[in-house]
């Protein structure tokens, strides 16, 4: 029986928030693996804010997705056919497999994941790129150390929630910024943050003043825009501002940069961006430490799973509306 492959393609480039008209659905026979290739049955697809940038024309740190192409996405799945001795049928793998049910890949494009250690979809979140982003952004770029006050925006998301928990494990005072009272309650009561600011209902500058009496040593910024400006106004001497992302600006055709950057001069502070892929060679080290903390019950993992490839367009929008907690994943 022929296996059918549902795919989601980029139909047009969005102007602002993506709409249904930016996507097209396709269905055809699953591809055949060639010599040296495997066929993967995709089980879970990662929904990442960066995918919005890939929809725009022009490369950033990675090439844009071309109109008509299958939407690029990180995913996990099982090898169901193999034409190479390097990868056996039954292996669980992670790679850039796209928003589709079946994908052909070469072994060097895939990472074998250990399903006995953690559910496979965790390799898209806490044990995958978001977890690595938290770990290296906080410790390598932010140089967070015991006694520092660390503020995190997008704190209840995939990257932010792991960043805050690692900062607590390292002995920092941790304040998260998130949208809504429920997310703020979750940060403090379930993840052990020292404080949380509801940016939708509270004055960020006032609350930072209350919650960070010694000002902010490390700001791990996932959001950019007004939140970046507010935190810049509260940095401490020699603060480190880690530019992880700027999700508040991804749908804004007039990307807004910081106004308050002279705080860097006044406070001899440093603002540095990074791309997690540069840490690929050191991911084993970070994943081992994160897995150890998880097994010791010191690091909690939250996933928001939406089912069905047809749900992709609406599920993707949850990244921007915030209607989810933790790592957003599409179960195929």
Q: How many residues does the chain have?
A: 332
* Per-residue x/- track, 246-285, ligand NAP (CB under 6 A): xxx-------------------------xxx---------
Strands of 119-274 (E only): list them: 149-153, 173-178, 195-198, 216-221, 235-243, 270-273
Q: Single out the segment in contact with ligand NAP by CB under 6 A; choices: 4-12, 32-40, 116-124, 320-328.
A: 320-328
Q: How many angstroms separate the CA atoms of 269 and 213, rounded?
A: 18
Q: Single out the segment in contact with ligand NAP by CB under 6 A; choices: 12-20, 26-34, 35-43, 48-56.
A: 48-56
By the 8 A CB rule, do 57 and 64 touch? yes
Among 245, 263, 287, 299, binds ligand NAP (CB under 6 A): 245
Nearer to ligand NAP, 54 or 293 (CB): 54
Residue 244 makes contact with ligand NAP by CB under 6 A? yes
Which H or E run includes 311? none
Work out the end-to-end distance of the chain between its first and last CA atoms, rounded to an integer number of angstroms.
20
We find the least distance from the C-beta atom of residue 271 to ligand NAP, in angstroms, to be 13
HSE-up of 20 (CA within 13 Å, CB side)?
4
HSE-up of 216 (CA within 13 Å, CB side)?
33
Residue 139 makes contact with ligand NAP by CB under 6 A? no
Residue 49 makes contact with ligand NAP by CB under 6 A? yes
We find the least distance from the C-beta atom of residue 332 to ligand NAP, in angstroms, to be 19
By the 8 A CB rule, do 71 and 62 touch? no
DSSP result, 216-260: EEEEEESS-HHHHHHHHTTEEEEEEEEE---GGGTT-SS----S-
Q: Single out the segment in contact with ligand NAP by CB under 6 A; choices: 103-111, 141-149, 158-166, 259-267.
A: 158-166
Residue 131 makes contact with ligand NAP by CB under 6 A? no
- Virtual torsion, Cα 258, 50, 293, 149, nearest 10 deg: 0
Number of residues that bind ligand NAP (CB under 6 A): 30
Among 154, 164, 195, 258, binds ligand NAP (CB under 6 A): 154
Among 179, 228, 234, 240, binds ligand NAP (CB under 6 A): 179
Burial pattern 108-126, b for ≥16 Cβ within 10 A else e, equals: eebeebeeeebebbbbbbb
Nearer to ligand NAP, 95 or 154 (CB): 154
By the 8 A CB rule, do 8 and 309 touch? yes
Nearer to ligand NAP, 14 or 322 (CB): 322
Residue 315 makes contact with ligand NAP by CB under 6 A? no
Among 23, 129, 135, 220, binds ligand NAP (CB under 6 A): 129
Q: Single out the segment in contact with ligand NAP by CB under 6 A; choices: 31-39, 72-80, 125-133, 261-269.
A: 125-133
Residue 222 makes contact with ligand NAP by CB under 6 A? yes
Chain residues in the site for ligand NAP (CB under 6 A) = 48-50, 129-130, 133, 154, 156-160, 178-179, 183, 222-223, 244-248, 274-276, 319-320, 322, 324, 328
């Amino acid at each position: 029986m022929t296996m059918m492959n549902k795919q989601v393609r980029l139909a047009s480039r969005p102007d602002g928030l993506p709409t249904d008209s930016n996507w097209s659905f396709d269905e055809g026979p699953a591809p055949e693996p060639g010599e040296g290739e495997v066929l993967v049955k995709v089980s879970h697809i990662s929904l990442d804010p960066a995918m919005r940038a890939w929809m725009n024309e022009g490369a950033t740190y990675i090439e844009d997705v071309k109109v008509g192409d299958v939407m690029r996405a990180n995913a996990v799945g099982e090898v169901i056919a193999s034409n190479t001795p390097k990868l056996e049928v039954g292996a669980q793998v992670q790679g850039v497999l796209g928003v589709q049910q079946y994908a052909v890949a070469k072994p060097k494009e895939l990472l074998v994941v250990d399903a006995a250690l953690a559910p496979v979809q965790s390799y898209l979140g806490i044990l995958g790129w978001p977890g690595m982003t938290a770990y290296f952004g906080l410790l390598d770029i932010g140089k967070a150390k015991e006694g520092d006050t660390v503020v995190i925006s997008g704190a209840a998301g995939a990257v932010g929630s792991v960043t805050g928990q690692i900062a607590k494990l390292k002995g920092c005072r941790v304040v998260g910024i998130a949208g809504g009272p429920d997310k703020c309650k979750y940060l403090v009561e379930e993840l052990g943050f020292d404080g949380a600011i509801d940016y939708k209902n509270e004055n960020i500058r006032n609350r930072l003043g209350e919650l960070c009496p010694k000002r902010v040593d490390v700001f791990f910024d996932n959001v950019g825009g007004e939140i970046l400006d507010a935190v810049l106004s509260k940095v401490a001497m020699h603060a480190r501002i880690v530019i992880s992302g700027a999700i508040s600006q991804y749908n804004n055709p007039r990307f807004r940069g910081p106004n308050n950057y002279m705080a860097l001069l006044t406070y001899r502070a440093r603002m540095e961006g990074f791309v997690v892929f540069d840490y690929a060679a050191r991911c084993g080290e970070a994943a081992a430490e994160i897995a150890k903390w998880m097994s010791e019950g010191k690091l909690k993992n939250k996933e928001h799973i939406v089912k069905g490839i047809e749900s992709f367009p609406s599920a993707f929008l949850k990244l921007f509306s915030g209607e989810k907690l933790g790592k957003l994943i599409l179960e195929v």
